Each structure stands twice: as structure tokens, then as C-alpha cells.
DNA sequence: GTCTATAGTCTGATAGAC
DNA sequence: GTCTATCAGACTATAGAC
């Protein structure tokens, strides 16, 4: 459909609900209430419930790419700094906003075939950022292992934080990022 | 309710469906069809849909504990061997059977408060096995980092394999386990 | 762009025969 | 232990007024 500011705001609110309840048990009535309108009005902005999910996932992935891109630009060529920046950016999109990126990761399977095909290149672009940074770290001897598997394991470790991270706890996303890459690097000295 | 062989078999079949479709979008009619009975008959074995989920998660976690326990018993006191055995056991419960353990991890949030309270000690017992093995590896200097965070990151990396692992691919759960702990250990030589 | 009203379908669960 | 039949409510989505 279109791409109005109104639709963007509605998408943002849908993301919060999808994170809290999960896509399947979020009803259009719940979405409408969260948005302050009646359920019938929702379908003026989105063709169906599926389209809302696709909009959330697209926004979440685009945002993750933008945040990661910025984080990489503001740090030098040091592989460790870049790895840290990437992990911190990833965790912030997941844990600080608790936003659309969580939906993109956890509700991907709920997309229909058409939407999945349409959004796959975005997801791939984000993962390509990760694999490039991990390649640099491997080449520098900072970490070691198979390129594909290291990427998957690192992203998995980060993605699963959503399930146990306590925002009221003592550790920030930045500290978590440091601990994760510290775990992968050979001890100093 | 009871604990008949019939109920156990029905629970096993429900697990397959919950993995494939997710709990929320699995209907009692789908469950009944998978079990070869009519939907009304289901409620002779389970009070409601929630109880089926609780049965699956209990079975999945008990099985994971049993498999892990056996794996640890059949290897010596070498911290690396124990870490490897634990990771392999975990991956096999997730990737080979594609069974109830996946449901336990991915649908935990769908349990009602009562079931969650009832099953928390089982989940904790399984995680305690992990933390003990990780403690040994830390004490031996095999890996390094914060005990709590290393546990969470390792389990996260393993749990997320469900989302990308291809059973038809080249790598076995055993190889994956080796790659993961290899990634955490300082390079030899 | 939002509303009311509702169509049409599916849902979890129950009752009672066999 | 399984069946048939069904209830009562919830669901997504649509139509048409404003």
C-alpha cells in the first residue's frame, strides 16, 4: 500500500504488540485498540493482518541495517572495534527499543510466501553486514572457526538474549556485546 | 490428569505439530486429525489445549535432562569432552528428533502461570546441568568469561540452530557441537 | 480516515449416545 | 475411549454511512 507517516506510526505500535503477545495471538481488535481506532478502520491502512506483519518486519530490518551501518562508520578499521560495534548495535535494536527487529527475527516464519520472498533480500543484506565483519575478524586472527558457523552461532547467541535479558538488571547491551566477543577471543597475555 | 501410554503417544504427536505450526496456530482439530481421532475425543485425555502444551513441554524437558545425563555419564572427567557431550546432546534433542524439546524452548511463553510455575524447576534442573559443565570448563581454563553469560550465550547459539539448521546439509549435530566449543577455546599450538 | 454493523468462518470446549 | 452434534464466543475482513 502507501507509505504515509500515519502508516509508519501504526506500524510502530503494531510492532510493540507483536513483541509482547506474538503475531498469532494478536488480534486486529487488539491492534486497533493500541492505535486508538476501531478494528474496521485498520483496513484502510493495511490490506490484511499479514500486511501489517510484513510492514513491521520490513521496518525492523531496515532499521537494523541503518543502525549497524552507522555503527560501523563511526569506528575505525580495527576488527575488534567493528565486531563490538556490530554486536552492540544488534543488541540495542533488540533490547533497548524492544521493537520491530525482534518481530523480524521471531515472527519471520509467520510471513506468507510472497512476503517472505519480497523481504528475503533485506534480511540477507543485514546478514551480509555481519558476515563481512566476522570475515575481517577471522582474517585478523582475532577469532577462529568456520565463517558460516561463527556467524550463525554469534547471531544466535545475540538473538536469544531477548528471552532472558532483564532491562532492569545490571548489564547494558554494550557490556553484553563486550562479554560475547571477549568469550570468542583468545585471552590476552 | 493420568499418565497412560496412550496419553504419552498423543503427547508425542502433539509435539510434532507444535514444532511445525507453532502452538497458537495449532487447532484442536488439527491435533485430533494428527492423532487419528475426532476433536471431541481429545478432551478425554487432556482437560484443555493448555494441558497438552504443558504435557509436551514436561516430556521435552525431562527427555533433555535424561539424554544430557546419559551423555555426561558415558564420558570421563575431561572438561572438553563433557562440554562437547553436552552440546551434542542438546543439538540432538533439537535437530534430530525435532521433538518436544523445541517446544519447551520456543513455546515456554505460551504456558499459563500455573503451568509455568509447575515446570520451572524442571527447566532449572536442565540449565543447572549446563552451568555445572561450563563451570568445569571455566575452572580448567578451557574457556573464559562470566559464568552466567557464557551459559546464556552458549545455550542461545545452540537454541537458534533450530531456525537455520538443514538436516539434509553436510553437518551433523556432533560436528556442530565441535565447531561451537572450538570457537570458544583458545587455538591450539 | 473513522465509524457502525455484520457477514462468514473458525475456535475451544461440552453433552450424551454407543 | 471414541463418536456425533452443537454451543457460545472470537476471529478476520467487508460494506456503506459520515
Inter-chain CB proximity B187 and A183 less than 8 Å: no
Confidence bin at B3 (pLDDT 50/70/90): confident
Protein chain B, residues 37-56, with a C-beta closer than 7 Å to any atom of nucleic acid strand C: 39-40, 43, 47-50
- C-alpha–C-alpha distance, residues A15 and A50, integer Å: 13
End-to-end CA distance of chain B: 58
Mean pLDDT of A128-151: 98
pTM of the model: 0.97
Neighbours of B134 (CB within 10 A): 24
Residues whose CB falls within 8 Å of the CB of residue B24, separated by 6 or more in sequence, listed in order: A22, A24, A25, B110
Q: What is the 3-state secondary structure (H, E, C) of chain B?
A: CCCCHHHHHHHHHHHHHHHHHCCCCCCHHHHHHHHCCCHHHHHHHCCCHHHHHHHHHHHHHHHHHHHHHHHHHCCCCCHHHHHHHHHHHHHHHHHHCCCHHHHHHHCHHHCCHHHHHHHHHHHHHHHHHHHHHHHHHHHCCCCCCCHHHHHHHHHHHHHCHHHHCCCCCCCCHHHHHHHHHHHHCCCCC
pLDDT confidence of residue A3: 83
Mean pLDDT of A136-151: 97
Residues whose CB falls within 8 Å of the CB of residue B135, separated by 6 or more in sequence, listed in order: B147
- C-alpha–C-alpha distance, residues B5 and B180, integer Å: 37
Of A150, A155, A187, the CB nearest to B186: A187
Q: Is the pLDDT of residue B1 over 70?
A: no
Inter-chain CB proximity B183 and A157 less than 8 Å: no
| Distance between B44 CA and the closest CA of chain A, angstroms | 26
- C-alpha–C-alpha distance, residues B177 and B172, integer Å: 9
Mean pLDDT of A125-144: 98
A37 touches strand C (CB under 7 A): yes
| Chains A–B, number of C-beta pairs less than 8 Å apart | 82
pLDDT per residue as tens digits for the range B99-157: 899 999 999 999 999 999 999 999 999 999 999 999 999 999 999 999 999 999 999 99
Q: Give me B130's grid cell.
A: 549446563
End-to-end CA distance of chain A: 57
pLDDT confidence of residue A29: 98
pLDDT confidence of residue A186: 84
Distances (CA, A) of B63 to A53, B11, B36, B59, B165: 35, 13, 25, 6, 21
Mean pLDDT of B75-98: 95
pLDDT per residue as tens digits for the range B44-56: 999 999 999 999 9
DSSP classification of residue A107: S
B39 touches strand D (CB under 7 A): yes
Q: Is the pLDDT of residue A189 over 70?
A: no
DSSP classification of residue A109: G
Confidence bin at B2 (pLDDT 50/70/90): confident
Boundaries of every domain in chain B: 5-184
pLDDT per residue as tens digits for the range A19-78: 999 999 999 999 999 999 999 999 999 999 999 999 999 999 999 999 999 999 998 899
Inter-chain CB proximity A146 and B179 less than 8 Å: yes
pLDDT confidence of residue B189: 56
Tell me which residues of chain B have a C-beta less than 8 Å from any C-beta of chain A. 22, 24-25, 109-110, 143-146, 149-150, 152-161, 163-164, 171, 176, 179-180, 182-184, 186-187
More confident residue, A2 or B170: B170
On the CB side of A81, how many CA atoms lie within 13 Å of its CA? 8
Tell me which CATH code domain B5-184 carries: 1.10.357.10
More confident residue, B52 or B97: B52
B28 touches strand C (CB under 7 A): yes
Amino acid at each position: 500500500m502507501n507509505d504515509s507517516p500515519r502508516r509508519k506510526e501504526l506500524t510502530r505500535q503494531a510492532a510493540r504488540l507483536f513483541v509482547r503477545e506474538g503475531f498469532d495471538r494478536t488480534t486486529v481488535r487488539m491492534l486497533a485498540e493500541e492505535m486508538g481506532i476501531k478494528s474496521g478502520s485498520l483496513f484502510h491502512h493495511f490490506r490484511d493482518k499479514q500486511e501489517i506483519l510484513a510492514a513491521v518486519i520490513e521496518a525492523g530490518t531496515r532499521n537494523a541495517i541503518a543502525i549497524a551501518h552507522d555503527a560501523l562508520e563511526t569506528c575505525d578499521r580495527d576488527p575488534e572495534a567493528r565486531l563490538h560495534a556490530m554486536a552492540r548495535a544488534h543488541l540495542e535494536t533488540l533490547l533497548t527499543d524492544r521493537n520491530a527487529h525482534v518481530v523480524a527475527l521471531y515472527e519471520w516464519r509467520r510471513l506468507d510466501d510472497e512476503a517472505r520472498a519480497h523481504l528475503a533480500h533485506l534480511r540477507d543484506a543485514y546478514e551480509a553486514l555481519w558476515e563481512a565483519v566476522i570475515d575481517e575478524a577471522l582474517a585478523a586472527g582475532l577469532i577462529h572457526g568456520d565463517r558460516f558457523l561463527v556467524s550463525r552461532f554469534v547471531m544466535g547467541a545475540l538473538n536469544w538474549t531477548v528471552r532472558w535479558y532483564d532491562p532492569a538488571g545490571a548489564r547494558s547491551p554494550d557490556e553484553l556485546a563486550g562479554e560475547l566477543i571477549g568469550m570468542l577471543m583468545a585471552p590476552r597475555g
